[in-house]
Structure 1
Amino acid sequence: MIRLSAFADEISPDLHEQIAVLQSENIHAIDLRSVDKINVLDLSDQQVQTIKRTLTDAGIVVAAIGSPIGKVPIDSSFEEHLARFDRSITVARALDTRYIRIFSFYPPTKAGSGTSDPASYREQVISNLREMTRRAREADVQLIHENEKDIYGDTIARNVDLLKNINDVHFRSVLDPANYLQCDQRPYPDAYEATKPWLEYVHVKDVRADSSMAVAGEGESNWPAILQRLRSDGYNGYIALEPHLAAAGQYQGFSGPDLFRRASQALQTLLRDMDWSYA
């Protein structure tokens, strides 16, 4: 059975409002990205513990850490970024989740460093991700790579290149159809078929032909076909709402309570219409 989750900071910065809306939508899991506008990796140990208790009391589990790992230029200090990555493992353990969402680095920022050609920094991206995957394996956590625009692995071909070359069960793929559309890639069937062997997680948002964000089923992602295919292929993981209906920033989007409810109800209607049970 699939499980619904949500990037609840799209609802509100306030955890209690996040919880209230999730409960009203019968969603019992959260992809924790920020609380009170503090990124999940910048929360103190005490704050993490308080958040965990509050969520547990509300009957909500943490499905994944919505970390910003890998959202830095590839020529920035990897040693410093590894320290932040290690923090993500600590936070994941404290919140009782195995999943850490990551990215595959922005192009280099230094002049003359091959910014326009991803092939020029491919080896460094793979090297960095291999080291993070090694640490994830030792910690027994699962890295899930999101195909976001402007990182190395934003296109189908480069995402598959990473997945094949890392070749580790602790480095898997997020399917985010809207992100593929924003890179002029066809999410279904092209991206789905290409990344299916590594599929571990699904993010739900949609985008119209004019590039505006939409609820699932009202954009160009072909969510009905994707959901049908996920079910026929036996997918039984998390499907996480990340609608970005009011704003889409570099590090997080926002919808607000009312628009989030619209996004939730659109997804749940699609699932009910195809008689696919979910928790």
Structure 2
Amino acid sequence: MRFPRAVITDEISQDLAHAVAVAKSFGLDGIELRSAWDRNPHELTRDQVQQVKKIAGDFDMAIPCLAAPIFKCDLHHEEAYAEHRRLLEQTIRVAEALGTRLIRGFTFWEDGRFDSSLSEITDKIGAMEPLLKESGRILVIESDPATSANSSQRLAQVLERIGSENIRALWDPGNNLYVPEAERPFPEGYERLKPYIAHIHIKDVRPDPATGNPDACCLGEGAVGFAAVFKRLQEDAYPGWLSLETHYRINASLSEELLALPKGTAFSLGGEAATRECLESWNTFLKTGRFDG
């Protein structure tokens, strides 16, 4: 079974046409948009949205997900919450224009009060269900290390309480490796989130040799165990997309600020070489069933 594959374009370049050409050259089926021309999806002009559509069409590439920064804000700040609702509304309009079904979201910034804030988190995210249902879109929530639901355990609690087919999980197994109290990404994290998974990010992570802190690395060289992950996804007939989120830079690391809010030229710097390396490794695995190196 071959899964449809994509890459988040700003891991290659802010020049969307170039990023899509690189993706196509590695045999990918689609692209995921987080920032292009230094703008997030909701910031794109109408002309730019049409340009995105044309570029993707010219390369015969689908756009399965918009990797928006929705609800990367303070849970207890009502003005910020209202702004992010507007951000979602704007992103939905872009998704409609591009024929994109999935929109990425989060669970507000981590503030050390997850248990006491769980009801507020689920109420505020769950309140988006009518908007999503009306538009036929799905908000896929990622367990980002900088957010309240920073692990598979916490994200499962959020999604179980919300209980909506329009609010599901974006499983990024590498993220659990940044959180000391998180369970192993696989199989434990996968099993916990399996009932909710609607989209998957592919990012490998291992301890930095100099500091011992977790850091992204070339696909297949980290601690996630993607060979076993891919095998299990095939066994389970996973119906969705796999999208590479490189987050790896050769002989460099991204700053905490850029990891928390990836966007723009500073984020894309050095990304193409690392992404090409990851895609080469992924293609090798598809041909041989193993990762070299």
TM-score by length of 1: 0.91
Give the alignment partner of residue 105 of structure 1, picking from 101, 105, 108: 108
Mean Cα deviation higher: 73-82 or 252-261: 252-261
CA distance in 1, matches of 2:223, 2:19: 28
Partner of 2:207, secondary structure, is: coil
Q: Deviations over 1:129-163 (max 9, x none)?
A: 11112211121101111111021211222111111
Query: Is the aligned partner of 1:195 residue 2:193?
Result: yes
| Alignment correspondent of 2:203 | 205
| Alignment correspondent of 1:110 | none
* Paired residues of 2:112 and 2:148 also in contact (CA < 8 A): no
State the 1:270 CA deviation: 2.1
Aligned residues: 268
Partner of 2:243, secondary structure, is: strand
Query: Is the aligned partner of 1:119 residue 2:115?
Result: yes
> Matches of residues 47-58 of structure 1 in structure 2 within 5 Å?
47-58=48-59
Give the alignment partner of residue 267 of structure 1, picking from 236, 259, 282: 282
CA distance in 2, matches of 1:170, 1:56: 27
State the 1:209 CA deviation: 2.5
| Alignment correspondent of 2:272 | 257
CA distance in 2, matches of 1:240, 1:227: 13
CA distance in 2, matches of 1:104, 1:271: 34
Code of the residue aligned with 1:146 in structure 2: it is: E
Query: Is the aligned partner of 1:129 residue 2:130?
Result: no
Query: Is the aligned partner of 1:171 residue 2:186?
Result: no
| Alignment correspondent of 1:86 | 89
CA distance in 2, matches of 1:271, 1:153: 32
TM-score by length of 2: 0.87
CA distance in 1, matches of 2:240, 2:140: 12
State the 1:42 CA deviation: 0.6
Code of the residue aligned with 1:162 in structure 2: it is: V
State the 1:218 CA deviation: 0.4
CA distance in 1, matches of 2:282, 2:108: 30
CA distance in 2, matches of 1:263, 1:129: 33
| Alignment correspondent of 1:159 | 155
Q: Deviations over 1:105-152 (max 9, x none)?
A: 114xxxxxxx43212322211111111122111211011111110212
CA distance in 1, matches of 2:175, 2:85: 26
CA distance in 2, matches of 1:200, 1:65: 13
* Paired residues of 2:20 and 2:31 also in contact (CA < 8 A): no
| Alignment correspondent of 2:9 | 8
CA distance in 2, matches of 1:258, 1:155: 29
Query: Is the aligned partner of 1:141 residue 2:137?
Result: yes
Q: CA RMSD in A?
A: 1.6
State the 1:85 CA deviation: 1.0
Partner of 1:38, secondary structure, is: coil
CA distance in 2, matches of 1:116, 1:130: 21
CA distance in 1, matches of 2:120, 2:244: 32
CA distance in 2, matches of 1:19, 1:118: 38
State the 1:172 CA deviation: 1.1
Structure 2: gaps (5+ residues)? 209-213
Code of the residue aligned with 1:244 in structure 2: it is: H
Code of the residue aligned with 1:219 in structure 2: it is: G
Structure 1: gaps (5+ residues)? 108-114
Q: Deviations over 1:73-131 (max 9, x none)?
A: 11222222211111111111011011101111114xxxxxxx43212322211111111
Q: Deviations over 1:224-253 (max 9, x none)?
A: 111111111111310000011124422225
